[in-house]
Amino acid sequence: MNYKGILFFLGIYSLLVSFLSVLNIFYSIYFSFLIGLNSYLITFLISFLIGISFCYLGNKHKKDITLPEQVLFIFLAFILISSLFSIPYILSIYNIDLLNSYFESVSGFTTTGFSIIRDTKIIDEPLILWRSSSQWLGGFLFLFATIGTIGSKQIKIKPAYLLSGGASGRNFYNNFNYNFIKILLIYLTSTIFVIFLYSLFNLRLLDAFNLAFTTISSGGFIPKYNLSDILKNDLQIFVVSITLLFPILNFFLFHDVVTKQFSFKKYQEDIHLLSLILILTLFVYFFINQDEGFANVFFAFTS
């Protein structure tokens, strides 16, 4: 078993957690939320040291890990990253115990959205942002695992043919180098675009960040108890509905449109899906529930 090769990739994942810790540190300092600042500093130091140490241990070792080692790597990544994300919950002032802290971080990282926090109003904004960050990173690593491992030519299942545009050879290290940068750039660009779009339609910047992290990752966390506390008019609801389509379409769709590689034959599933959503929305709006606004009906289907 190539444990040092696995450690190298775990180290890279740990460094992503330290990057997100920096985001929370800057936010806490800028808006003077200094009560929980130490928890993000500690998370940054731990994740950064683990990341650097693991990368150093595995750097000069063979990095072309086999398929069983890739599966073990994904399993260990879920345990490690969830543990790192639980640190701010444990060190917060809200008396969240170890088990509940780990549950919250796992729920975020797996983008399921189950939460032990009943009322987000009692939680400080940096911790809400941290919670959203966990599902954003979880969504990215899920995509990467799907494209890099499940979508490889070694596993002949449907996702391999729905996720076009990634390297899928037999050398995992070469795939990692190619896919990681490409997927991260598309994922990050999509997130920034959604944040900009929300801000353009007068969503509060922090709500735009949290909601974008949720939307892009298909996560279950929202920054407020009810979306009606964030979305105040039909136009905002419609815009959010459009962005909810992003993660259910082929991940490389917008990339191929921008780079002029799009072809209708290649994205037939996406065209059928969009057509189905539009037909169902119009059918319900005109024939079943005419009292409900179009934006609300559309949101019901996309969500």
Distance CA 253, CA 274 (A): 13
State which H helix or E strand residue 218 sits in: none
Residue with tokens 């030519």: 153
- CA separation, residue 132 to residues 29, 102, 110 (Å): 19, 15, 12
263 and 250 in contact (C-beta within 8 Å)? no
Q: Is 289 helix (H, G, I), strand (E, B) or coil?
A: coil
Name the residue ranges covered by the structural domains of the chain. 66-230
89 and 96 in contact (C-beta within 8 Å)? yes
Q: What is the DSSP code (8-state) at residue 98?
A: H
Q: What is the pTM of this model?
A: 0.85
What confidence score (pLDDT) does residue 122 get? Answer: 83
What confidence score (pLDDT) does residue 76 get? Answer: 93
What confidence score (pLDDT) does residue 160 get? Answer: 44
What confidence score (pLDDT) does residue 238 get? Answer: 93
Instruction: Report, as ranges of residue numbers, the positions in the chain whose pLDDT lies below 70.
Output: 148-171, 173-174
- CA separation, residue 210 to residues 104, 128, 132, 143, 216 (Å): 16, 8, 6, 19, 10
What confidence score (pLDDT) does residue 17 get? Answer: 95
What confidence score (pLDDT) does residue 171 get? Answer: 65
- What lies within 8 Å, CB to CB, of 43 at 6+ separation is 17, 18, 21, 84, 85, 87, 88
- What lies within 8 Å, CB to CB, of 116 at 6+ separation is 96, 100, 103, 104
Residues in the chain: 303
